[in-house]
Every structure is written in structure tokens, then in C-alpha cells.
Amino acid sequence: MSEIKIRENIVLSNQLPFVLFGGPCVVEGRDRTTYLAGAIKEIADKLGIPYVFKASFDKANRTSVDSFRGQGVDEGLEILAEIKEKYNVPIITDVHDATQVKKVAEVVDVIQIPAFLCRQTDLLLEAGNSGVIVNVKKGQFLAPKDMENVVTKVQSTGNKNVALTERGASFGYNNLVVDMRSLEIMKNFAPVIFDATHSVQIPGGQGTSSGGNREFVRPLSRAAASIGVAGIFMEIHDEPEKALSDGPNMVPLHELETLLSELVAFDKLAKGFNK
């Protein structure tokens, strides 16, 4: 599907202004998560960027068994529902198991399939059957052309609202690179979102946790916007160095407005050529 209507005024399309998917990696707690949702929405509204709030109620694929995973499905969804109502903002969150889908679909606007699970047929079919928009992150181990089969799996349920996210490809151990060709290739199958922060992750790079090179978020997101994508995904935190997950690659809140202003300019330039 070339266009996915998240809300009446938020349409995900490779030809339309990009949608921002942003928030902390994980629901760290009610107060901080709510604060971040409001602060990010204020910036997005100021810049005229359609916005979907992102946070995970559970991060099941953490490096260490001792890593913080989130608030769990019940409390996490309760917090996300409160944020949705308070700020009138759509919600995207991850599911890691088919049994979570039904409960999550009652709260969120977009169900996200993590990259490591992008080929899990039962999970994809359950997400599709929910009727909710499905965003699938491209596995670090897959070629972009392989994502056509992933889209077909979800759409086989009758749910045509499928988006794909690029988040880098494995390049040796503990390293990811972004092949910008993948954005153009996957546009043939679905609206494409660029994940600006997981693309600079160093998986397992700190031994018991992942590292990251956040200094590359800006150039990579500018490159993606200059190609033209349906959405930009980024994890954002007011104190990344204290974040409970993915701190090394998150965008500091105080830098967000400047970065997004640049991306809007690149996005307008790229899509102006298509008119």
C-alpha cells in the first residue's frame, strides 16, 4: 500500500512529508515517559511534523539477562494509553510474541515487529490479523529485497497496512552499516521508515550491553531524508547517559529541534523533485 492513514491528519507515504516516530527506547516509568512524550510532541507540533510516540513496554532482546526490560505488558500499556489520551498522539510499540498482539492492539495505533523477529511467520500473521497498522523492521541479516516476502505474509491476512523500517545491516561483529539503496528497494513494497538511532548501534559492543555512535545519527538521517522516506524513527531521551536502554545511540532532547528542522528541509527538497 502506497499510503497508510494512521489518523486523518497523519498519513504515511513515501511521497508525503515524513512522519516522526520517536520517544525513549523503553517505558522507564510513568513520569519520565509522559514528560518525554509531551516535550517531543511540542517540538514536532512547532515544526509541523506529524508525530507518533514510541516506547517499548518490554525489550525482550536485551544483551544481558540483568538488563532493564521495561514495565511489562500490563503496566506498560497502561502508561502508553494514558499518554495517548493526554496528548492525543498515536502510539507505536513492539511485540515479541504472538500472545501479546491482541492486548497490544487494543491500545496502540501501530504494532512494531522487531528486526530479529521479522521472519517469524506466526507473529507476522497474528499482527496482520489484529487489523492494526504493522511496521516491520528489516532484519540486520536480510537483504532489502527479502522484505517483499515479509510484506506478503502480513498482507495475506487481508491487512494491507504494512510499513518497513531500515535499521542497518550486520557488517562483521558488533557493527552495523546502512546501505541507502535499501530505502529505494523497499519503497517498491511499502512505505519506508528510516531508523536513525538503531542504525548507529554497536550490538553487544559494551560486553553486557550495546554501544552506539550517536554522532552519526545526524548525517545518516539527513541522507535518508534527502532520498525521501515516509518516516523517520529515532529514540530520544532528556538524559541519554542515564537512559535504561540504548543510551549511547539516542538523540538528546535538547538537540532534537535543530535536527528535525534540518530533516524537514531535506525532506521538502527531495519530495519537491517528485512533483
Digit-by-digit pLDDT tens for the chain (275 residues) are 589 999 999 999 999 999 999 999 999 999 999 999 999 999 999 999 999 999 999 877 756 666 667 678 899 999 999 999 999 999 999 999 999 999 999 999 999 999 999 999 999 999 999 999 999 999 999 999 999 999 999 999 999 999 999 999 998 888 899 999 999 999 999 999 999 999 998 876 555 456 678 899 999 999 999 999 999 999 999 999 998 887 889 999 999 999 999 999 999 999 985 54
Placement of cell 560486553 in the chain: 207
Placement of cell 492492539 in the chain: 105
Other beta carbons less than 10 A from residue 256's beta carbon: 20
Alpha-carbon gap, residue 100 to 111, rounded angstroms: 10
**pTM here?**
0.94
Per the CB < 8 A criterion, the answer to whether 234 and 195 are in contact is: yes
Helix (H) or strand (E) holding 217: helix 217-227
What CATH fold (topology level) applies to the domain 12-272?
A: TIM Barrel (3.20.20)
Alpha-carbon gap, residue 33 to 169, rounded angstroms: 29
Q: What are phi and psi of 111, to 5 degrees?
A: -90, 130
Alpha-carbon gap, residue 144 to 176, rounded angstroms: 15
